[in-house]
Structures are given as structure tokens and as C-alpha cells.
Structure 1
């Protein structure tokens, strides 16, 4: 299995290097590294939150805090010294509050956020494989209606690196993360000692590859935009959608990506790499093939659709809003987390009700 996959990745890398650009070829490998890190470490953002709530096990959340600290330490100096790099900024809006809450709810039902859906689909998990296209459709629908949501109320994005400078922004971020870790330790009564190593090395791998993404692409790691672009291209090709009549997709930058090959889109190429990186791990980790009922399938697919829709309203998922947002100093990332966590508390009740 691995030999054909390695040849396929190498062939795509060579073709991108020759026919597209060195940047896109490198980003393919960055995506492979991210997918490998997610799948090999079983670094689940959704699972980490569920472990904290249901078992008072903070290991997953500690892993995420370590990831945020490492990535912020790598990303903020880049943002401060290289003007061609950009933070993952999102406006402070009604759509952010609603979208983050709904996303947190739905990701627990779907058993995966944006990156989780990708790498579990790569591992061959049936529900996540079916949710992937639903996520893409939802993300497209959310983007098409985003301006209507922003009209309900929105403030300009706030970037800590721009406001404070890279050093003070990093210091403030690390202090905030330390306070969050202390709060988790106080509530669970458990510290970092005894934490499974996979959360540490998973955080290290993801931080390194996410920082490479920022350095090579000039923008932070994201997942959701690529999904929405895939569905938007399909809807346009089928004559179901006129992008010129939509505020989001008629924007020059989005319109250009809509008419270019997907291989020129930064997020799409890393998403493809994540699938390949997870597939590399798949033979080593057989999945639980417990069959789902028809009701569970319907609820799971509906959650996937809403997850895609809400992630666009919230300007990212656990990756784009939380990981990339917080690590590059966007205030919207700090608002996204508590709203998504509140949604998770409701989502876990729904998950138990339907016996997922």
C-alpha cells in the first residue's frame, strides 16, 4: 500500500514542481506532514475536548495548548519580520458567535472537526468519508450567505501582532495559554505529568509543519476555505450557481481561485496532502467498523453539513480559527474557543442521545 502511495505523492510533487510552482509542490509535502502528524499521533481536537468534559482527562487539551504555544513562538516572529506573511484574522461578529457555537456542537456529533474529518476520511472511517462532501457543501453555502450574516453586526478584525508588536503579542499569548492550562489543571486535578507522549510529539510535528505553511504560503494553515472552494467550483460547473451575483465569490481574489485549477489554491493542496499523509498511516491503524443505524447516519451527515456551514460563519474551524487564529494573534480565535466549547457541551448530550 505504501509503495504505490509514495510513488503517487512523488509523481504529484514532481508534476507540481514542473508545471505549477515550487511553492505548491512544497505545500503538498507540508500537507502530507500535517496529515501524518494528525493520524499517527491521533491528535484529535474534538476528542481532546470530549475527554476533558466526560472523563476529566486533560491530556488532549494540554496537547492543544502546547501546540498553540509552540506555533505562536514560531509564527509571531515571522509575522513581525516578514511583511508578506499574514495572520488568520477574522472579524468580531454575530456570525462568529453563532458559527463557533454551532460548530462546537456539530463536531462532537460528527466525531471530527475540519482537520479531523480530513484525516479520518484518509484513514478510511466510513462516517467521516461520507461527511467530507457534506462539509464541503455546507462550507460553500456558508460562504455564499456570509455577507448577510455580517450585516447583522461586525467589528473590524483585531490582530495582536499589528497592535502590540510580535514580542508583546507573543508574551500575552503565552500568558493566556498558561492561565488556561492552570484552569484546566485546577478543574481536573491533573497536571502534565503522566500525559501520553503522543500528544507532545503530535503537537511538535503539527507546530513545525503549520509554521512551514505560514513561511511557504505566506498565510496560516487552514482547512475550511478549500472545502468551500471545491463545492463552489462544482456548483458553478453544473450551472447551479452564478458567482458574479454573490458578494463573496465575486470578490476578485475568490473569483480568481474559482476559475483557476485547484492545484493553485494553497488550502486545497494542503488538504490533499493531509488526506495522503493520513492514508500513509491507515494500514497501521485498523478502524472500528461498528455499523451505524440509519438514524445515526442521517444525524451524522446533517451535522457534517451544519459543521461546514458554521465554520464559514466563524471564519475557521479548530484549525483556521483556534490554532491559526490564536497562534498568529487574532482576537477572534480567543472568542471562538469559549463559544465552540459551549457548543461542545450541548453536542455531547446529542451524541449520547443518539448513541454514537
Structure 2
């Protein structure tokens, strides 16, 4: 299996994270790249660098207003007297239909959902190449590859069409699925991150040409809180094309695999040609977020179950945070897929 990564993705180095009113170092550290690279190589992956497909694939799902914000906001922020080194919002509109301010501070509040997505000097460049990594993976599948692994960092599944959040700026899995759909392929997105893929859901919620399925810890008491509930099925033409499968905190391998079977059945019944897996490894029992309790052998079973679809598959890296087993868990998923 080919793996894709660009060295410019190291340039995003967030310093700010707030949890329960306490400011802490961000869990989304560049060191994740090293651990994940080791894990992919241990699974037999050969790394290649992505092609630059330009802004087109990004703009296919993200508004030009939002892309303008991401490209320019760091420079604008530095012009504010006494401003911090990262763009962090401190005010938010009540809803998306409120007026759009000229102020950099106001636009930060409009386009950043929370304080977990600070924008620094290298954020746009890293996010851009993270998206290109996913696009190259999609092009590999469209060109006949059976599978590919896109080491996307920063991750993407919490990013809406015009809103960053939860460590995410550009929705890599959504960009890849849209790229595949534009190539005439019927794409399903299967999100196995411990957190609900709320941005992905939001992007495709009223569409019937891309299926979105997410298995995650129950958001009633877990991030992202406001999205990911089982009654969210889509709207308009998209009604019935979104499936959320929330799980109780601490769910272990066997129970998880049973729910995964339901997710895979939905992919089959959608008639998918290709699958984009939003691959979070943070469902691991030892992950810092402690949402679910999947073991390393459990990740191998997840990979094997996905392989059972018999469909071209693009693994797009989402969460999975610093713990000793992070690379091993990636090896388990990819090896489980290849071994099946």
C-alpha cells in the first residue's frame, strides 16, 4: 500500500488548547507524524509525496470566503497591537446567518468553532498540504489502486465548509470523497474516529451523492456535543444518507465490531464504488481522550472488516494522540486490511 505525506505538514505547531477551563499544550502535536510514519512503514507502506492539485479540490467543498480567511488571517492578526502568536477566537456569532464582520477578531469567531484550532504561522501551509495528501490518495484510487493511506496532519473531519474546529481546518476526507465523486465514482465516507465527524456530516448533510457514516463515543457527554446523535439522518435530498452510530463510553472490541457491521451494511446498500475511511486511532483504550476502549488487536479486526467490503479504500488520518501504542495501532489497521 502506498502512503502519502508532505514534509510541509510539520509546520503547524499549535501551542494553545483549553479543556475544562484549563489552558494546556495541544494534544495535536507534530510528533504524531513521526509515530504514524513508523506505524505505516511497519505495515509495509512506501511513502510518496503528494501532487499539487491546486485550490480547486479544496474550494469544491470550502467557501471562498473561508479559504480567504485561512490564507490571510495570521498575517492580519499580527497587525493587532499586543496580539498573541496564534489566532484564537474569543467571541462567536449566535448563528451562521448573523452579519459578517470586517474585524480579524470577529472573523476568527465566525470561522473558528472553538479554541482547539489555533492558527499559527505555518497552519495554512500545513493544512493545504494535508488536503493535497488526501487528494493524491483519491487520485490513486481513481487510477486503479486498491488502497492508499493519506497521513493527513492536521486532521480534518471537524471542519465544516466555512468553519474550523477540533484541531481541523480543511476537511480532508470530504475533499477526497468529492474528488472521487467528480471522477464518476460513488463514494462513501466511513468515520471511525472516537469523535463524531461533525464537519463531514455538515458538508454532505443535504446531499444524496456521498454517504456519510460515523461510529463514535456518544456526544451527549463527549465532544463535539451538538452533533452526532442517532436521529441526525440528513435533510432534503440527503435524508437517509447520513448514519450516526453513537456508542457508550468505554465500548470494547466485540461490541464495536458488531456496530461496525451495521455501518458496513449501509455502505453496501448505498452501492458505493469506493470508501474513504476517516481513520481516527483515538478510540484506543490508552488514548488521552479515553472515549472508547479498542485494543491494538481490535484495530486489526477493524481493518480486516473494512477489507471485507472488497472496495478500493482510502485511509485518511484523523485523530489518535500521543501514546506509546499510536504507531502500533496504525500498523494493526493497515496490516489487518492487507491481510484480509
Question: TM-score range with shorter-chain normalisation?
Answer: under 0.3
Q: Which has the higher contact order (CA 8 A, sep 6+)?
A: 1
* TM-score, structure 1 normalization: 0.26
More strand, by proportion: 2
Q: Which has the higher helix share?
A: 1
